[in-house]
Amino acid sequence: GAGNRQAAGTESGCWILKFEWVKACLQSKECEQEDKYEIPEGPQKSRLNREQLLPKLTFKHHPKDNLIKLVTAGGGQILIRKPKPDSDMTQTINTVVYHAKPDSDQRFCTQCIIYEDLSNHRPEGVRQGEVWMAPSSWFIDCVMSFELLPLDN
Q: What's the pLDDT tens digit per position in 46-89?
A: 788 777 777 666 545 677 888 888 888 878 888 888 777 666 65
Mean pLDDT value across residues 109-137: 77
pLDDT of amino acid 28: 92
Q: Which domains does the chain have, with CATH numbers?
A: 3-51 (3.40.50.10190), 64-145 (3.40.50.10190)
User: Mind spelling out the 3-state secondary structure of 57-110?
Assistant: CCCCCCCHHHHHHHHHHCCCCCCCCCCCCCCHHHHCCCCCCCCCCCCCHHHHCC
On the question of pLDDT at 97 being above 80, the answer is: no
Comparing 29 with 40, which gets the higher pLDDT?
29
On the question of pLDDT at 103 being above 70, the answer is: yes
pLDDT of amino acid 89: 59
